[in-house]
Amino acid sequence: MVPRGRALRPTGGFQIVTAGTSHSKAQRAAGTSRDVAPPLTLAGQPLLVLTHDPAFFATFKRVADPAHELRVVRSETDLASALMALHAGVVVLDTTSLTTPTAEVARQLEAQFPDVVLIVAGGVEEQAALATEITDGSIYRFLHKPVSEQRARLFVDAAWRRHREAQAGLVTSTFAALARTPKGARWWLLLALLGTAAAAGWFVVDRHLIRLPMTTPDRLRPAASAVPAVPAPAPDAGDAVLENLLARADHALAAGQIVTPPGASAADLYREALRRNARDPRALNGVEQVIDRLMAEAEALLQEHHLDGAQQLAEEARAISPQHPRVAFLIGQIGAQRERAVLDKAQRAAATGNVAGALAVLDDAARGGHRSMLVDSAREQLTQQRLGGVADFLKRAREALADGHLVEPAERNARFYIESARALAPQDPGVAQATQALIARLNVEADKALTAGDPERADRWAAAAADAGAAPADVAVLHAEAQRLRGASKANSVAHLAQAFNERLGEGRLLEPAGDSAQFYLAKLVQTDPEHNATQLARTAFDTRLLDESRGALRAQDYALARRWLTDARTAGADPAAVGELDSAIGVAQEQAQRAASYVSASSLTRTRYVPPDFPLEARKHGLEGWVDVQFLVNPDGSVGDVTVVGAQPVGVFEQAALDAVRRWRYQPVMRAGQGIGQRARVRLRFAMQR
């Protein structure tokens, strides 16, 4: 029986018929139908990278395929807008730049943009948290940070290949290769038909179909122009109850109260009228209108792939008329779309080699109660492939172990093959055995590195063993031995550097040559172990020596050299108090030298009055002799002022006598341009006993 207002046409396939217009297969293939979107193409589709990290984006910029534009986005909102505007093929998510949980973003992308291939970059903890999404294919690849160019290029290239395969329909061929038996061939024939049906919509819609807006899943509003009801016969005055039921039912139908509220909905009232009179044409027509309303909205929801909403409306229609052929047909369509969605998801997982993920998808569908022959056949084929894949991966792992390719090169090493086998069969005894063999080899390599005195390499092998599942206690022993070796190596290095420093210090090679001086070896000591006692002693010795060199230059009145040594001492971190004291001393000496440079010998001036100094009695009594150096100023009038002692021998004996005498001297004024000027002079007064 064909439902009223709808027609099925045997066209050799499924076809969408809208507003009375059909489109041939040739038209659809040519993209001429306005109801069928042209096939998507890969050329020019961009690669989108969501990140706030310039270095992360720069890595992908260096490895990007010139055929695909590279775009950076800063937020999930920008990503959604870019996907809708640009039709991107591959998306890379930096987990550190997301505000929404990564798993939720991945699920939303898969639901809204199923053709996009997703790569996620983050740390080990993020990878563990996303295990489900990686397994079910929502996330195509997980890239560890910091990201190397080599792995970024490999992952991006693989993602584009995955996208091309999906666009070209190679997912179906991937599954077809699994079907090696006649039963499998029959299964894939059904799967192909199911794919054609899902792609075409598997719906036939008449131009007269009225689609009703829906506010809630259990309440429908009336259409703008409802299908006219069959006129009811004249009221039977003998059955007032029936007439009341029909009147209330018509009112509920007009008000859009199709299935709610219970007991007062159009569906409930028309059914009650039928129970009162099973042959009343008004009640029969009313029930048909209720089913039409439910089916119209359910079919609209199905076209939009809202399967749960369509299922709910179909079940409500079936509750009204369990044997209605249109209801049974729609429920079959919903089931077919559910199967198609499950198989598509399983296909995507299997096409990336994630057979375990594909099986998980099929098992989830079975647990959800939507089990079918197609799903069971797919599971059987995938199970066979999984067993073969595990054996192949373990064989490759053994070969890689024999060749010494334990963790490198990327995706062609024993660890990668074993993890791939584990993803397919976590409980397989062969996987556990291969894992133990890998751990043993990693431990051997760590021991070799320790024997060779390479603690850094030993730590890397130990970390790889830990990642493979080695016992924590064994890994801790390896790390501890590497640390002990590192400490012993450091002690030897400090000893050699300290010896070289002391030798250069003793030779006076403090700063030169740059690569073989005391300063050079001190820097190496600080770099190796700044807190070591030898390093602290070297610091003190170097600072002290620099200050001593500065003092020696000061005594030699080489003030420029004294300041250079002092600057080196300050830069080296010498005691600030000692540096400040020496700096002041150099300043005073420089000032005195400058002042001395402006003095002339008193013998070059004309003295007009001379007073000899008195010989101190105490000095005469003890027979002492000596001298006193005096500096003074000859004023413009010839008088003497600003008399100071700048040297004496012996000290503290003749100074006062010298000062008293010089202050009483007079000189002929020094003239310049006809004017008397002040002139500084110096003189040495000698004190000798008369013999």
Q: Quick check: bond before 636 cis, omega within 30?
A: no
Instruction: Please report whether residue 175 resides in a domain.
Output: no
* Nearest alpha carbon to residue 92 among 135, 64, 54, 51: 51
State mean pLDDT over 571-589. Answer: 92
Q: Are residues 518 and 505 in the same domain?
A: yes
Strands 600-601 and 679-687: parallel
Edge to edge, what strands does the sheet with 90-94 contain? 70-73, 47-50, 90-94, 117-122, 141-144
* Nearest C-alpha neighbor of 98 from the set 73, 133, 134, 115: 73
**AA letter at 443:** N
For residue 336, tell me if it sits in a domain. Answer: no
- Res. 187 pLDDT band, cuts 50 70 90: very low
Asked whether residue 274 falls in the same domain as residue 256, the answer is: yes
Task: Among 561, 579, 597, identify where a domain stops.
Answer: 597
| Whether residue 380 is found in the same domain as residue 276 | no
Shared-domain flag, residues 558 and 631 = no
DSSP state of 89: S
Report pLDDT digits (tens) over 370-395: 556 666 777 677 777 677 778 888 99
Residues 634 and 562 in one domain: no
User: In sequence order, what are the residues at sequence separation of 6 or more whose Cβ sits closer than 8 angstroms to the Cβ of residue 163?
Assistant: 42, 45, 89, 90, 115, 117
Both structure tokens of 163: 């996208």
For the chain, report the end-to-end CA distance as a whole number of angstroms. 160
DSSP codes of every residue in 572-627:
HT--HHHHHHHHHHHHHHHHHHHHHHT-EEGGGS-EEE--PPPPPHHHHHHT--EE
**Which residues make Cβ contacts (< 8 Å) with residue 159, sequence separation at least 6?**
90, 117, 119, 140, 141
The predicted pLDDT at position 372 comes to 64
Residues 76 and 50 sit within 8 Å (Cβ to Cβ):
yes
Residue 639 lies in a domain: yes
User: Which CATH number does the domain housing residue 93 bear?
Assistant: 3.40.50.2300
**Does some domain include residue 444?**
yes
pTM (2 d.p.): 0.31
The pLDDT value given to residue 371: 56
Q: Are 82 and 93 part of one and the same domain?
A: yes
Q: What is the rounded distance in angstroms from the CA atom of residue 565 to the CA atom of residue 573?
A: 13
Whether residue 428 is predicted with pLDDT greater than 60 in this model: the reply is yes
**Domain assignment of residue 404, yes or no:** yes
Instruction: Specify whether the CB–CB gap between 184 and 381 falls below 8 A.
Output: yes
Question: Which of the pair, 169 or 555, is modelled with greater confidence?
Answer: 555
The last residue of a domain, from among 412, 445, 464: 464
User: Per residue, what are the HEC states of 375-427?
Assistant: HHHHHHHHHHHHHHHHHHHHHHHHHHHHHCCCCCCCCCCHHHHHHHHHHHCCC
Distance in angstroms (rounded) separating the CA atoms of residues 279 and 255: 25
Q: Point out the least confidently predicted range of 52-66, 149-163, 183-197, 517-531.
A: 183-197
Residue 148 phi, psi dihedral angles, 5° rounding: -90, 150
The boundaries of the domain holding residue 516 are: 491-597
Which segment of 13-17, 354-358, 464-468 scores lowest on mean pLDDT? 13-17
Q: Cα-atom radius of gyration of the chain, to the nearest Å?
A: 50
For the ranges 12-26, 78-92, 663-677, the maximum mean pLDDT occurs at 663-677
| Res 305: pLDDT | 85
Question: Out of 223-237, 302-316, 661-675, which region has the weakest mean confidence (pLDDT)?
Answer: 223-237
Residues 162, 66: one domain?
Answer: yes
Mean pLDDT (whole number) for 228-238: 47
DSSP-H helix ranges across 404-512: 414-424, 429-451, 455-468, 472-506
CATH of the domain at 649: 3.30.2420.10
What is the distance between the alpha carbons of residues 607 and 669, in angstroms, rounded to a whole number?
A: 9
For residue 496, pLDDT over 50 is answered with yes
Looking at every residue in the chain, the average pLDDT score rounds to: 80
pLDDT value, residue 163: 82
* DSSP collapsed to 3 states, 171-232: HHHHHHCCCCCHHHHHHHHHHHHHHHHHHHCCCCCCCCCCCCCEEECCEECCCCCCCCCCCC
User: Lowest mean pLDDT: which of 47-56, 100-109, 587-596?
Assistant: 587-596
Q: What φ, ψ does residue 217 adopt, rounded to 5°?
A: -60, -20
Residue in 449, 436, 438, 441 with CA at minimum distance from that of residue 478: 449
Same domain, 388 and 414: yes
Same domain as 558, residue 623: no
Query: Which burial class, exposed, middle or buried, applies to 206 when counting CB atoms under 10 A from its CB (0-12, 13-18, 19+)?
Result: middle
Classify residue 202 by burial, with Cβ atoms within 10 Å: 0-12, 13-18, 19+. Answer: buried
Q: How far is it, in rounded angstroms, from Cα 504 to Cα 499?
A: 9
Whole-number pLDDT of residue 10: 34
Chosen domain end from 565, 597, 629 = 597
Q: Which two tokens stand for residue 322?
A: 């369990």
Name the token pair of 69.
Answer: 């534009």
Mean pLDDT of 171-175: 44
Tokens standing for 418?
A: 């074993």
Q: What is the DSSP string of 533-583?
A: HHHHHHHHHHHHHHHHHHHHHHHTT-HHHHHHHHHHHHHHT--HHHHHHHH
* Mean pLDDT confidence for 13-42: 35
More confident residue, 524 or 175: 524
Task: Bin 75: left if φ > 0, else alpha if -120 < ψ < 50, else beta.
Answer: beta
Domain count, the chain: 5
CB 468 within 8 A of CB 431: no
Q: Is residue 36 part of a domain?
A: no
In this structure, the answer to whether residues 140 and 67 fall within a common structural domain is yes
Tell me, yes or no, whether 518 and 580 share the same domain: yes
Q: Look at residue 317 and tell me if it is in a domain.
A: yes
Same domain, 514 and 579: yes
What pLDDT is stored for residue 627 in this prediction? 97
Alpha helices in 219-324 (DSSP H): 240-254, 266-276, 281-303, 307-320
In a domain, residue 582? The reply is yes
Residues 434, 397 contacting (CB under 8 angstroms): yes
- Cα separation, 3 vs 1, whole angstroms: 6
